[in-house]
Amino acid sequence: MNPDTRGVLYPAQLPAFCRLPPPDRVAWLVRWFWIPEWRIAPGRSSRQHLIAFPASNLVVEPNGVGFAGPTTRSSYRDISGTGWAVGALLRPAAVPFFTDDPGALRDTYRPLELSNLQVPVSDAMTSSRDGQQRHRLAVEAFTDWLTGTAPAPTSEALLANRMAELIDTDPAVLKVEDAAAHLHVSVRTLQRLARRYVGLTPSTMIRRRRLQEAAERLRTDPGTSLATVAADLGYTDHSHLANEFRSVLGFTPSTYRRRVSPATG
C-alpha cells in the first residue's frame, strides 16, 4: 500500500503532493507532515476527495492556521488559483493541547490565531528555494513551534499513540477486543483513550483503516473480486463492504472501481 496516497480517493487528480516524516523531536506529536502545492489554470478548479485518517490535523495556509477535527465521512476540497498548505497529521498525544473534547470538533475546521506558527511556515513556503528545500524549511519551522509550545507527553498520552498506531498498522486488529488484548488494557480503557485523544470510537478507527485499504485495493488491483477484498480485510461478506462504502462515501465499491479504472478513464 502506497503511504503517499492511502486515503486519497483519486490520486491521479492530486496537485503536487508529498508526505514527510516528522523529525524525531516531534515524532510523538506528529505522524507525518503533508504538503500540497497547486497552480490551477484561471477559471478552473480541482476537487480533492479523501477518506481521512481517523485523526486531527493542524494546517498552515497562506491566510492562517486551522485545526481540523476527526471526520466521520469522506471529505473534499475544491482548489483553484495558486496555493499551498502545510499540514501535520497529529498523533493522539498532541490533541489535548488544542481541545479537551475532540469529539465536539468532528467534521469541523476551527481557525486558530497562531501567527507565530503561520509566519515562519509561510516564509519558508514562499522563499525562492526549490521545492524540497522549501518543504524542509517549512517542516523545521513547524517543528520548532511544536517543540517550543507543546508540553511533555504523559504516559496515558503515549498509550493513546500506541493504540492509534496499532489500529492503523496491524491488519490482524479487526475488533476492539483485538486492540485491547495487544495493549493489555480493557476495552473500556481503550474506549476512554479514543474518546479523549481521538474523538472517534476505536471501532470507527478500525473501520476507517479497512475502508482506506479497500479503496486502495480496488484502485490498484482492479481484477480482484469484491468478495476477495472483503474477505482479506475482515468483512463478513462483500455486502458489508458495500454498506460501509455507501455509508461513508455515498457510493458502492463497484461504482468507485468504475471511476478509477483505466479502462473507463
Name residues whose C-beta falls within 8 Å of residue 253's C-beta, 6 or more positions apart in sequence.
Answer: 214, 218, 226, 229, 238, 241, 242, 245
Q: Do 91 and 30 form a contact (C-beta atoms < 8 A)?
A: yes
Q: What is the pLDDT of residues 222-248, one digit of tens each?
A: 888 999 999 988 888 889 999 988 888
Helices (H) and strands (E) in the chain, counts: 9, 9
Domain ranges of the chain: 11-149, 155-264
Q: What is the pLDDT of residues 109-137, one digit of tens each?
A: 999 999 999 999 999 999 988 879 999 99
CATH number, domain 155-264 = 1.10.10.60
| Chain Cα centroid distance, residue 68 | 10
Residue 177 has pLDDT above 80, yes or no: yes
Nearest of 41, 45, 73, 51 to residue 1 by alpha carbon: 51
Beta strands 109-112 and 75-79 are: unpaired
Residue keyed to cell 507543546: 150
